[in-house]
Structure 1
Amino acid sequence: MSEAKKFRAGSEGIGARGGEERVDAAAGGEAVELSGRRAGLWADAWRELRHDPLFLVAGFVVLVFVAMAAFPGLFSSVDPRACDLSRSLAPPGGGHPFGYDLLGCDYYARVVHGARVSIAIGVLATGSTVVIAVVLGSLAGYFRGPVDTVISRLTDVVFGLPFILGAIVLLSVVGTRGVLEVGLVLVALGWTTMTRLMRSSVLSVVNADHVSAAKALGASDARILATHVLPNAVAPVMVYATIYVGIVIAVEATLSFLGVGLQLPAISWGLMISDAQYRISEAPHLLLFPGLFLSLTVLSFILMGDALRDALDPKLR
C-alpha cells in the first residue's frame, strides 16, 4: 500500500472514531441534561408543595391517620373488643369522647383501630395496582405491535366490567372476606385506568431523542426502560396513585356497608357505618365519627394528589 493510501485510511479511521466519540459524548451529555431536568422537575415540585397550604394540611392529616393505623396504641389504650352491655349506645361523655356502640364497646377505640384495616387495604391495593400498571403499561407503550394489542385488548375487557358491581359479584362467591380477599378483588378490577395512563405516558417518551440515542448505542431494552423511559413517564401514575388510595378506601367502605366487604370480627370504618345505619336517630354518634374519619382520609388523599399534579405540571404553575 502506498503512503498516500495509508494516510487516507488512517484519516478515515480517526474520523470514524471521532464520530463515535462525538455520538457518545452527545448521548452522555443528553443523559446528564435529562437527569438534571428530572431532578429539577421534582425539586421544583417540592418547592411548590412546601408552600401549598392545602397540601401541607392534607399531608398532616394523612400522616396522623397512617400513624393511627400503624400504632393505634399511641391514640387509645382501651381494648376495642372489651365491651360492657350496660353501656350499650351510651352517648359521648365521661372520658369516652365517642360514646359506646351497641355492644357497649368504647367507640373511640374502635374508630382508632378501624383506621388500620381501611388504610391498609387502600395502601396495599394501590401499591399492587401501581406495580401491575407500570409493568403492563411500559411493555405496551415501549414494544407496541402484538404486545400492545394483547395488553390493550385485555385492558379493554376488564375496563368494561362495572367496578362496584364486579366487586360485589366476586366477593359474593368468596367464603371468607378478609383484608387479603377484598384487596385482591380491588386490584383485579382496578388496574386498567392506571395501565392506560402509564401506556400513554410511555408512548410520549419512547420516541424522544435520548431514547433513540440509547438504542443507537446498543443499550438493552431493559436498561432503556429502567433508565430512560420510566423516570420520565411515571409521574402521572404517581399522581393518580395518590388519589387512588382515597378511592380504594371509599370503595372498601361502600362494599362493607353493602354487606359484601369485610366480615366480622374485623374492625373497619365501613363496617361501623354499616352497623350504624339502623340506629341513626337514637345514636347518631355511631355514624358521625367513623363517617368523619373516613371522609377526612379520602379528602386528604385527593387533595394531595391534586396538589402533586399541579406541582408537576409546568403549564399549571
Structure 2
Amino acid sequence: MSNSTITASPPKHAKSGKGKKPASLWSDAWYDLRHSKVFLFGAALALLLVIVAAFPSLFSPLDAFDKSTCDLARARDGLDATHWFGSDNLGCDTYSRVIYGARVSIIVGIVATLVTSLVGGFLGLLAGFYGRWTDVLLSRVAEIFFAIPSILGALLILAVVGRDNAGIGSVVLALSVLAWPLVLRIMRAAVITTKSQDFVLAARALGAGPIRIMIRHILPNALAPVIVVTTMNLGVFIAAEAGLSFLGVGIQSPDISWGLMIADARNRFLEAPAPLLFPALFLSITVLAFVMLGDAVRDALDPKLR
C-alpha cells in the first residue's frame, strides 16, 4: 500500500500566492464579522444610535431642553400627530426627550468603557508581564474592588459626591472604579499566556527591552479577550447608568436620561404609559445592539468557538 499525505485545505478567505500575507487571527475575525448577520445588524443599529446621540436635532423638531415647548395643559396626553410619543407629566414632548436622552446614555457607556479598558488593560499588562510583587500587589487591590457589590458601590460613590454634583463625570467615575478589575484580570491572564510563547522568548534572546516586548509582541496578541469584554461592557454601562438615574443618584434634571424619564413616569404609568414605555424601549434596543456586537466579536475572536 502506498503512503499518502493528507493535507487540510486552507480556508476560503485565506490569502495565497507569492507576496501575500498569511491569514491571522485578526484577518480571520474580520472575515467572520463581515459575514455575520448578528454583527452587521448590531453594528448598523449601534451606529444609528450613536448618530442620534451626536446629532439629536436632526431627528427631533423640538429642543428637549427648551422648557417653552412644554405645556402643562397637555400633560400626559396620548399619542398624536404633534407628539408622536405623547407628553410627560410636565407636558413636554416625550419623543424629543427620548431622542436627546440617547446622548447621555451613550456618552456614559463609551467613556466608562474607555476608562475601564485603559486603566484595567494597562495594570493587567504590568501584572502579567512583571509578575512577582507587582502581580501580587495589583491582584490583591483588584480583589478588594471585586468584593464590593457593583450597585451598592456605585450608590455609595454617588452618595459621597452628592446629588448636586451628580452628572456624567460622576456616573462614569462610579462605574469605572468598580469595573476596571475585571479588565485587569482578563488582560493579566492573556499576557501570562502570551509571554511564554516562542516569539517572545526569541525577542528576549535578540536583546529586545521590556517595553518593546510588551508593546510590539505581547500587547497585540493579548488584546483579543479585552476587546470582547470591552464591547460587552458598552451595553452593561448604558444599562447601569439608567439604573442609577432611576434610583435618583445618577443623572439629575435638567439633564435628560432614559433612566430619569422612566423614574419620573413610573407613578402615573396606568394613566399615561407612553412616557415610560418609549424610553424603556429605546434603552432595551440600545443595550441589545451592543450585546449583539459583543457576542459577534466574541464568536469571531475566540478560537474555541471556531
Normalised by the length of structure 1, the TM-score is: 0.86
Shift of 1:216: 1.2
1:133-144 to 2 correspondences below 5 Å: 133-144=120-131
CA distance in 2, matches of 1:49, 1:207: 29
Greater C-alpha radius of gyration: 1
Tell me, yes or no, if structure 1 residue 298 matches structure 2 residue 287: yes
By how many angstroms is 1:95 displaced?
2.9
Query: Aligned-pair RMSD on alpha carbons?
Result: 1.1
Name the counterpart of 1:272. Answer: 261
When structure 1 is superposed on structure 2, of 307-316 and 239-248 the one drifting more is: 307-316
1:53 and 2:37 correspond: yes
Q: Where do residues 99-114 of structure 1 align in structure 2 (5 Å cutoff)? A: 99-114=86-101
Structure 1 position 294, deviation (Å)? 0.4
What count of residue pairs does the alignment treat as equivalent?
281
Counterpart position of 2:239: 250
Q: Give the aligned partner of residue 118 of structure 2.
A: 131
Deviates more, 1:99-108 or 1:114-123: 99-108
Q: What is the match of residue 207 of structure 1?
A: 196
Equivalent position of 1:32 in the other structure: none
| Aligned residue among 148, 155, 158 for 1:171 | 158
Secondary structure at the counterpart of residue 207 of structure 2: coil
CA distance in 2, matches of 1:78, 1:139: 50
**Correspondence for 1:20:** none
Contact 2:112 2:176 in 1 (8 A): yes
> Partner residue of 2:9?
none
- Mean Cα deviation higher: 265-274 or 76-85: 76-85
Q: State percent identity of aligned pairs.
A: 52
Q: CA deviation at 1:77?
A: 2.4
Q: 1:41 aligns with which of 11, 14, 25?
A: 25
What are structure 2's unaligned runs of at least 5 residues?
1-20
Equivalent residue letter for 1:174: V
Q: 1:259 is aligned with what amino acid? A: G
What is the match of residue 150 of structure 1?
137
**CA deviations over 1:69-107 (Å, ceiling 9, x no partner):** 111111112111331111111111123211111111111
Aligned to 1:8: none
Which sections of structure 1, spanning at least 5 residues, go unmatched? 1-35
**Alignment match, 1:18:** none
Measured after TM superposition, the shift of residue 165 of structure 1 is 0.4
How far did 1:40 drift? 2.2
* Pick aligned residue for 1:230 from 197, 200, 219: 219
1:194: how far off?
A: 1.1
Structure with greater proportional helix content: 1
Counterpart position of 1:182: 171
Distance in 2, matches of 1:221 and 1:121, equals 35
Query: Alpha-carbon deviations, 1:2-59, whole Å to 9, x = none?
Result: xxxxxxxxxxxxxxxxxxxxxxxxxxxxxxxxxx66x622121121112211111111
Shift of 1:307: 0.7
Distance 2:86 2:182 in 1: 41
Q: Post-superposition shift, 1:314?
A: 2.7
Cα distance between partner residues in 2 of 1:77 and 1:207: 58
